[in-house]
Amino acid sequence: MFKYVLKRIVAGILCFFIIYSMLFVLIRLLPDKNTFYIYRYPMAEQYIRSLIGIITKFDWGVCTRVGALYLPVTDLIKALLPFTLYTTGIAFMLSLVFGILFGVLTASLRNKTAIGIVEFITLAFAGVPGFILGYVFQYIFGFKLNLIPLIFVGGYDFFSWEMFNSALAPIISLTFAPMAGYMIHLRGALKDSYSSDYMLLTRVKGLTKGQAIWRHAFKNAIPAIFPVFLANVINISFNTILIERAFAVPGIGISYMRSYFRLIRIEKEFEVPIGFGVVPDYNVFLGISMLFIGIAIICGILLDTGYGLLDPRVRVGSKKTGEL
């Protein structure tokens, strides 16, 4: 098991640097008028300098267009990260809690009509993009009923009702699709467990259907929702890019979009003075890109190695014959 985990970590690190190398080369092939001093070196020398900085100092370069000029990219991400964690963290917790509750509830239902209604609503939420749900919520409760602000308020008072109220639209946009995923997978796993012999024995002993599910079937269903849990981490992380752009949340996502559009579109109003010319913000784009890639790689490693801890029947990397 230890050797397998070590191999997966090494493979994840190699994958990380391969993707970084590809992005480094591709974005520098874009046509631009960049005269920033560090970009006057040959591409190979730029690449070696950047790798040395990342490995030795965790230095991802400085901002040239997004944020303050010469501000380190790591400092920019640290300043923006609390806003992203505020919306994504609340959305992740809400989707997990309500997804599990509704999954167990729907698995306990006996009325076919009620089950059909719940399944229709669940599939509808799972299929509609999150930002569309957020726009609908914003239009009804923000524009028509005037109950919430139309955009995210500024400041750092994360525990205030004003900020939470303004974040409801982006939070709901990020919550419903993951919640529906938990409901679908958990309900299926509980249905499969409920027809097993040990569950029939619990019913014979006098437990109700709900008690049997909560006390016994739910533990066995946890490995079934583990992949969904990690997939939702990736899903929410990547969806926040569009959500923050749509609802003006001053987090990592909106800065990532700005850095991207300023790579592919040269605008005169963003020219840097003192003879530097137009400077595409390579470093911000690369730094935030690799942050999301790193989250995806970590989730992949946890997915590959976590089953051995959650399910004792699985022994990852074992060499014994006849053993899973």
What is the model's pLDDT at position 18? 93
- Residue 14's pLDDT band (boundaries 50, 70, 90)? very high
What is the model's pLDDT at position 320? 52
How many Å apart are CA 109 and CA 145, to the nearest integer?
35
Give me the amino acid identity at 164.
F
Does residue 112 carry a pLDDT above 80?
no
How many Å apart are CA 324 and CA 315, to the nearest integer?
6
Could you report the per-residue pLDDT of 208-250, keeping only the tens digit for each?
766 777 776 777 777 777 788 888 888 888 888 888 888 888 8
Taking Cα atoms as reference points, which of 243, 30, 234 lies closest to residue 131? 243
Could you report the per-residue pLDDT of 250-290, keeping only the tens digit for each?
888 888 887 777 665 544 444 444 444 445 678 888 999 99
Could you report the per-residue pLDDT of 159-212, keeping only the tens digit for each?
888 888 888 888 888 888 888 888 888 887 777 777 677 777 776 777 776 677
- Residue 22's pLDDT band (boundaries 50, 70, 90)? very high
Asked if 162 and 175 count as a contact pair (C-beta separation under 8 A), the reply is no
Q: What is the CATH number of domain 82-246?
A: 1.10.3720.10
What is the model's pLDDT at position 36? 56
3-class state of residue 277 by DSSP: strand
Taking Cα atoms as reference points, which of 33, 64, 91 lies closest to residue 287? 64
283: tokens are: 């470093």
How many Å apart are CA 133 and CA 141, to the nearest integer?
12
300: tokens are: 């992949």
pTM for the full model? 0.79
62 secondary structure, DSSP code: B
